A and B are shown apart, each in its own frame.
Chain A
């Protein structure tokens, strides 16, 4: 059996390892699109912080890890797929034959379509190559404009600010972290950032990047209100898009990502998908969603590989959840944090201490949660949601005081 995995992020690597564990004899080829050993994009902020070296971002630390497992790790980018012939064509013309193909090509940052976006010194914060460029340009005293205050924007803010630059954040939505924070949380995050001397502009669009002969930085970011922000470095974090273009003509069904069933199989029988590129089963809605998060990528990779091995494994669906550190303020979100029709909610806000906890219930169980400033036992929010634990008498207590959530969990599972 010949397994080919295109994409060497967490989903691809976990799939390759799972395939090897289940079939010592299979031929396994893992194709990565970047020159480095497989690494974690999630670790890039900590590389920019100076906490780790590049090696610290690698998914697996042993230099011979893939060789030792008999996984052929090669460099290449997919150009097209012919499922009936079982052939993957790479850029440059090489053909890779497969019995089963796993697409784990992830996503790439969206580039705003505005004039001047291709000027030098404008970078996504997505790859190790991006990180090297950002490190060069974000020096003490440099003007940095970060476009986008979503998950990635917020998580890299610390790294950008700690390098000594003057940081301005421009966000199109009306608040920071619009996809994982409500208005209360977004306002709290904003106040925190502003106290850290970061300028935060919301409800503002970038309309272009121009040359700036007068300012210390060589360019200026033009906003829709006419303001121009001088910049040495512009970092783009306005969202990502699935890497699916090479599947054109393959018959693989694509919506926001590759639509897969609960066995991570696409609409084409010998093609599977996992990770940020896959639109898989969603725990909360029962529908299909792209959940571009590490735990989902790892689950996807494992389940896809088991099914590629012919061992039937069904996925119960991923729970969307996030945790991030925005210049020292930790926030997390789980499931349907915006609540549901006919549901109930409770919230505790402490603006002075930057603490916030919101719980959402549907009937007798927890379906979603938001937290700011909470680092103790946050995982139980996942546990309670995903096990649909009947809260019984504890629902009343949690409606009165959401902070008792860990007690509720211990009481309902251990007592």
Chain B
């Protein structure tokens, strides 16, 4: 069974360990600005929300890529950017309605969560289990999937 990141905002303390782990794993720097997971803080309601790509089935980023630089990792289901093929056109960054593909000006490529090849550093770094890596069926990504369905610009075919 494929696994997914499960995010439980109620458990997040806003410590940003996930952002540091992500940027170090992927960009070799401890720099939250280069992290592919971001923690949004809503101080007025005391809520912290870690947020990253859900590897959605619709995969607008992958479909919009003009040069086949984003593909699905068969083992993890992650939508993965090939740096060798990405030309840096940024169309995926406007196509993704979740805003989880970002352009990295220092490399001239786009970057997004790739689940670290099946061993996500953010989940390992999280001290409160606000981020866990679990069987896909348990992740309760329904809310995001509902959102995804709303954004879908073309209705799905009825057979």
By a beta-carbon cutoff of 8 Å, the part of chain A in contact with chain B is 10, 14, 40, 42-43, 46, 51-52, 56-61, 283, 293-295, 298-299, 302-303, 306, 309, 311-319, 321-325, 328, 330, 332, 334, 375-383, 386-387, 406-407, 409-411, 413-415
Contacts and interface: CB of A to CB of B under 8 A. Distances in A.
B144 A413 contact: yes
Nearest to B90: A323
Interface residues of B, number: 47
B108 A383 contact: no
Contacts of B158: 311-313
Contacts of B103: 330, 375
B93 A379 contact: yes
A295 B95 contact: yes
Interface string B78-113: 000000010111110111111111111100100000
Contacts of A298: 63-64
A314 B45 CA distance: 41
A313 B90 CA distance: 28
A311 B159 contact: yes
Contact of A283 (B67, B89, B105, B153): B153
A58 B67 contact: yes
Contacts of B47: 415
Contacts of A59: 66-68
A380 B97 contact: yes
B28 interface: no
B157 A51 contact: no
A379 B97 contact: yes
A367 B139 CA distance: 32
Contact of B143 (A293, A294, A414): A414
Most buried by A among B51, B64, B66, B105: B66
Contacts of B64: 294-295, 298
B87 A46 contact: yes
Interface string B47-73: 101010000000010011011100000
A58 B150 CA distance: 31
B49 A42 contact: no
Interface of B: 9, 38, 40, 42, 45, 47, 49, 51, 60, 63-64, 66-68, 85, 87-91, 93-105, 108, 143-144, 147, 150-159
8 contacts: A42-B91, A43-B67, A57-B67, A61-B85, A314-B154, A413-B143, A413-B144, A415-B45
Contacts of A379: 93-101
A42 B154 CA distance: 23
A414 B51 contact: yes
Given A61-B85, A294-B64, 11 more contacts: A295-B153, A298-B63, A299-B153, A299-B154, A311-B159, A323-B90, A376-B99, A379-B101, A382-B151, A386-B151, A410-B49
Given A43-B89, A46-B89, A383 B159 contact: no
A332 B66 contact: no
Contacts of A409: 99
Contacts of A311: 157-159
A415 B66 contact: no
10 nearest CB pairs, A to B: A383-B97, A377-B99, A380-B99, A40-B66, A311-B157, A379-B96, A46-B87, A379-B99, A375-B103, A313-B157
B156 A313 contact: yes
A119 B42 CA distance: 62
Contacts of A51: 87-88, 108
A180 B158 CA distance: 36
Nearest to B147: A413
Contact of A382 (B51, B97, B104): B97
A394 B43 CA distance: 14
A294 to B, nearest CB: 5
Contacts of A302: 63, 154
B102 A376 contact: yes
A43 B64 CA distance: 13
Contacts of A295: 60, 63-64, 91, 94-95, 153
Nearest to B105: A375
A130 B45 CA distance: 57
A43 B40 contact: no
Nearest to B158: A312
Nearest to A42: B66
Contacts of B85: 56, 61
B89 A42 contact: yes
Given A299-B154, A379-B93, A415-B47, A407 B42 contact: yes
Contacts of B100: 377, 379
Contact of B49 (A315, A376, A414): A414
Most buried by B among A58, A306, A330, A387: A387
